[in-house]
Amino acid sequence: MTTTTTTTSKPTKRSSVILTDRACERRVTKRSKVYDRKCPGLYASIIPAGTATFNFKFTDATTGKQRSTVLGVYNPETFTVDHARSRVYALKAMPPAALVEQLLQTKAVQAARGRTVAEIVEERIDWMKTKVLKRDGEMRPRVESWESVARHLRNFIVPRLGKKIASDITKHDIATLSGDIVAGRHGGKASVSNARHMRRAASGLFNWAAEAGRDYVSTSPCVNLPKLDEEHPRTRVLSADEVRILWHGLDRSDLPWGRTTRLALKFALVTMLRSGELLPIHRDEINASEGTVDIPANRVKKRRAINAPLPDLAREIITDAMGNYEYAFTGRFGNAPLARQAMSNALKGTKRGNGKAKTAGLCELLGLKPFTPHDLRRTAATMCGNLGLSESSISLCLDHQANKDEHGKPLPAVTNRVYNLATRSRVAKKREVLDAWAVELRRIVGADAEMRMAA
């Protein structure tokens, strides 16, 4: 008689060892989990790529179900086995309800940190352009230069890093991108300026992404980056002869650029206003009785309203340019001001896609060394300085914040921003400079133009 014995095998128990840093660093051919005998509930999940992730498994006392939470990725310098054990001991000391809440928060953070760079870029742009109430009582975008920042994010950062997980971006990625922009390998021609703009936009992006409530990244990767080469500011100043050639050249009727644009260039030279400040001047902003123009804060670089005096020469120009229109310098359709680039394009000319000149610029046509509308401000300020006019008053005309008093002593930063809100004395100082500059400009361009300065 043959006796058959049947053996029933018991489920294999999960093996555990004393987890060590060395075990986290070993290579595996397939995903494996190593449980720590020293700290029950702690285990390391190791993948073939060489990454070990610490996890904590526990039983939810309220439901009786097992849960797990990720503690972090092994790093021999910042997050070792001892760090993971300490984290587990802290979690075990928590009340069951608090532990579950901690788990839910951790999962929310993990979900947030799974977003790509392109995704958080678009969310950042939406956040920047959202209108909020400003100090002057007007609703304007939260970051008023958002269009420029958005352009840098979309042109420089998204094409290279957009598909990557935001939390995986390192300072090496930012430094490499910066170096490629400087070398001309990304984003067009080689440019230190573009690299600086990219870094500024990236820093704002990742600092914003790391704020509590978002937690898309733990820290910003835009730290301890290699220093960029120094950028040298423009120093182009037109000579008196160049000013004379330009002024008379702008009177020519055979030039391919519109008369309104040419008058705007004259106006910029006379008033020292920026393109974005002067081109949209509306009839309602001109105070004819006081001889001033009010530039609202949303058009000013420092977002503070400007009350600019108009010398007689400026009034002649703006009256001639405006005619019966509502805007001082009206575009081709008559219902809106000239585009901000109009003056710059007129000076440098425009080109076709193949690089060949489409319309020659005024600098080329008049035989002048290239310059920009901003150089007209510098030229006017320099010539006013040569006249011996007050440096602080010239700064007011340029809308540069004065940081010293009339005796050269530094002023507290809060003085002009909060306490010194008087405008009458400032207008008087600016008028003194601009009136003197108008007289000097008449002298420079010659007596023969005395009767047709604005023509």
Quick: pLDDT tens for 306-319: 899 999 999 999 99
Mean pLDDT of 181-206: 93
CATH number of 240-452: 1.10.443.10
Residues of the chain with CATH 1.10.443.10: 240-452
Of 99-108, 354-363, 378-387, 392-401, where does the model show the most confidence? 378-387
5-14, 354-363, 374-383, 398-407: range with highest mean pLDDT: 374-383
Mean pLDDT score, 206-218: 87
The answer to whether the beta carbons of residues 438 and 394 sit under 8 Å apart is: no
Residue 346 has pLDDT above 90, yes or no: yes
- Tell me the pLDDT band of 268, cut-offs 50, 70 and 90: very high
The segment with the largest mean pLDDT, out of 10-19, 48-57, 124-133, 226-235, is 124-133
139 phi/psi in degrees, rounded to 5? -85, 120
Helix (H) / strand (E) containing 54: strand 52-59
Distance CA 68, CA 85 (A): 15
Sequence-distant (6+) residues with CB within 8 A of 383 are 240, 437, 440
Is the pLDDT assigned to residue 32 strictly greater than 80? yes
Given this model, what pLDDT does residue 96 score? 75
d(CA 175, CA 140): 34
**Distance of CA 74 to CAs 35, 56, 84, 390, 414, Å?**
14, 14, 9, 64, 48
Cβ atoms 72, 82 nearer than 8 A: no
pLDDT tops 50 at residue 12: no
Per-residue pLDDT tens digits for 50-62: 778 898 888 877 7
What's the predicted TM-score (pTM) here?
0.64
Categorize the per-residue pLDDT at 450 as very low, low, confident or very high, splitting at 50, 70 and 90: very low
Provide the CA 32 distance to its chain's centre, in angstroms.
45
Cβ(33)–Cβ(45) under 8 Å? yes
| pLDDT value at residue 272 | 96
Q: Is residue 251 pLDDT above 60, yes or no?
A: yes
Which residues are CB-contacts of 325 (< 8 A; sequence separation ≥ 6)? Answer: 334
Query: Using an 8 Å Cβ cutoff, are 403 and 262 in contact?
Result: no
Sheet arrangement for strand 292-295: 286-287, 292-295, 306-309
Secondary structure (DSSP) of 417-447: III----HHHHHHHHHHHHHHHHHHHHHH-G
The distance between the two most distant Cα atoms of the chain, rounded to a whole number of Å, is: 137
Q: Which CATH superfamily is domain 16-112 in?
A: Integrase, DNA-binding domain (3.30.160.390)
- Per the DSSP assignment, residues forming a β-bridge with 135 are none
Q: Specify the pLDDT at position 2.
A: 47
Percent of the chain clearing pLDDT 90 (strictly above): 54
Q: For position 354, what pLDDT does the model report?
A: 62
Q: What value does the mean pLDDT of the chain take?
A: 85
Q: What percent of the chain has a predicted confidence (pLDDT) above 70? A: 85
In SS3 terms, 163-193 reads as: CCEHHHCCHHHHHHHHHHHHHCCCCCCCCHH
Give the pLDDT confidence of 52-96 residue by residue, as tens digits: 889 888 887 777 788 888 788 888 888 899 999 998 998 888 887
pLDDT for res 406: 52
Residue 454 banded pLDDT, cuts 50, 70, 90: very low
Q: Specify the pLDDT at position 105.
A: 65
> From CA 313, how far away is CA 271, in angstroms rounded?
9
With 60 as the cut, is the pLDDT of residue 117 above it?
A: yes
Q: How confident is the model at residue 230 (pLDDT cuts 50, 70, 90)?
A: confident
pLDDT, tens digit (0-9, with 9 covering 90-100), for 143-179: 988 999 999 999 999 999 998 888 888 899 999 999 9
pLDDT of residue 356: 65
Q: Count Cβ neighbours within 10 Å for each residue of 295-306 and write b for 16 or more, e otherwise.
A: bbbebbeeeeeb
DSSP letters, 113-128, are: TT-BHHHHHHHHHHHH
- How confident is the model at residue 309, as a pLDDT? 94
pLDDT, tens digit, 9 for 90 and up, residues 372-426: 999 999 999 999 999 999 998 999 999 886 555 555 565 454 444 444 445 678 8
Segments of the chain assigned to CATH 3.30.160.390: 16-112
